[in-house]
Amino acid sequence: MTPPSPDSAVCAATLFDGETWQYDCAVLLAASTVVGVMPAAELPRQVPRETIADGLLVPGLIDLQVNGGGGLLFNNAPTADTVRQIAASHRHLGTTALLPTLLSDSPEVMRAGVAAVREARRDGAADILGIHLEGPFFAAARRGTHREDRLRAPEAADIDWLCSLGDLPCVLTLAPEQMQPGQIRQLTAAGIKVCAGHSNASYARMQLAQQEGLRGFTHLFNAMSALTAREPGVTGAALDSQHCWLGIIADGHHVHPASIRIAQRSVAQGKLLLVSDAMATVGSDDPGFQLYGEHIERCNGQLRNSAGVLAGSTISLLEAVRFCRQEVGLPLAECLRMASRYPADFLEQPRLGRIAPGCRADFLLLDDKLMPRATWVAGERSAPTPAA
């Protein structure tokens, strides 16, 4: 099949396509799709182009865990307008696709959140890839800032409802020890991507969950049973897994840089990915916000509740990329893959996370300090972004 003719091009001095670095090349676009990458000098004269003389053109970032942004928290207002505003605030900071994330809450809030994401996607929000339900099937001992009275074990009706979500892509974080035998298998058979988190499970219980189709681990090292000499726990099961994806929050507060390096060396190539766990303060000057009616305060780059417990992060995904490059010491190409290609692979979205023929035209333009200058979502260029 002959690829469509390009109707425009973006010419970049430096391009990272998700695999390798390329130089002085042109990305050919037909509407929302990349149809080719070629040397800029060979681009036909009649093709309209935008020329980027400096900076780095890279795949758009994909964030699997976004609780809020722009002063809004999804739980507090689970509407399509909230979803769109949160996505817009993150797009200005370099994230071109995300999963709005609901924390453990009442069935009414959870259902409203699903309906909100459905509506936003139906109205053409290309940057909304689905929904992440973080809870409510958690272990109280590992609940973090999730309110205990919102946690519960699943009933048959809950499983049936989740399995009825149909074509809405859904990530569900749960504690495997809260599930009955066969329930994880039932969820994964329905297309739900099940991850372990806020769990006090043993290593043996985690092995059973993986046999039932567990696909990943949410915010590695945080809110999960630790690796010890005689009981590897959830953390040990994650590091020992060769097929699961592991999300990690690289903000300098949730996980030590050395722990990130250890995880990166331990897991299979392509399985460690970055998430922001962003709260309402991202993209906002607000000093805090309300969660479950409790004030969460921002101080020294951290978010904590009145008990001093970390309550998500105040970073964008691009800030996590910078942290991994500058503080953890990982190669820039790998840092970018951890925030673009690997999340796309987890979601089974081969048209995302890369700049290659057939991929959606989601790009991010960075300056030499890895600050955002512009984004493209499905071929549509944003205005220059404010400083992240």
Per-residue pLDDT in tens (0 to 9) along the chain, 388 residues? 667 889 999 999 999 999 999 999 999 999 999 999 999 999 999 999 999 999 999 999 999 999 999 999 999 999 999 999 999 999 999 999 999 999 999 999 999 999 999 999 999 999 999 999 999 999 999 999 999 999 999 999 999 999 999 889 999 999 999 999 999 999 999 999 999 999 999 999 999 999 999 999 999 999 999 999 999 999 999 999 999 999 999 999 999 999 999 999 999 999 999 999 999 999 999 999 999 999 999 999 999 999 999 999 999 999 999 999 999 999 999 999 999 999 999 999 999 999 999 999 999 999 999 999 999 999 999 865 554 4
Give binding residues for substrate as ranges: 145, 222-223, 230, 254, 310-312
Q: Which residue is associated with the tokens 């006090």? A: 200
**Torsion from C-alpha of 18, 22, 24, 29, nearest 10 degrees:** -30
Within 10 A of 387 (CB to CB), how many other CB atoms are there? 8
Q: Is 277 a catalytic residue?
A: yes
Give binding residues for Zn(2+) as ranges: 134, 198, 219
- Alpha carbons 285 and 75: distance in angstroms, whole number: 20
Domains of the chain listed by start with CATH number: 8-58+354-382 (2.30.40.10), 61-347 (3.20.20.140)
**Torsion from C-alpha of 16, 20, 24, 28, nearest 10 degrees:** -70
Contact of 6 with 379, CB cutoff 8 Å: no
Q: Which two tokens stand for residue 18?
A: 């998700």
Which residues, 6 or more positions from 11, have their beta carbon under 8 angstroms from its beta carbon? Answer: 24, 25, 26, 27, 40, 43, 49, 50, 51, 52
Rounded alpha-carbon distances, angstroms, from residue 168 to 57, 66, 97, 122, 278? 30, 17, 15, 11, 22
> How confident is the model at residue 1, as a pLDDT?
62
Catalytic-labelled residue, pool 105, 277, 345, 362: 277
Q: Where are the beta strands (DSSP E) in 252-322?
A: 272-275, 288-291, 294-299, 302-304
> How confident is the model at residue 388, as a pLDDT?
47
Instruction: With 0.95 as the threshold, say if the pTM is over it.
Output: yes
> How confident is the model at residue 384, as a pLDDT?
54
Q: Which long-range contacts (CB under 8 A, 24 or more apart) does 73-77 make?
A: 73/279, 73/280, 73/289, 73/290, 73/291, 74/100, 74/101, 74/102, 74/113, 75/102, 75/103, 75/105, 75/109, 75/113, 75/291, 75/292, 76/280, 76/289, 76/290, 76/291
CA 113, chain centre distance (Å) = 17
> How confident is the model at residue 383, as a pLDDT?
65
Give binding residues as ranges: 134, 145, 198, 219, 222-223, 230, 254, 310-312
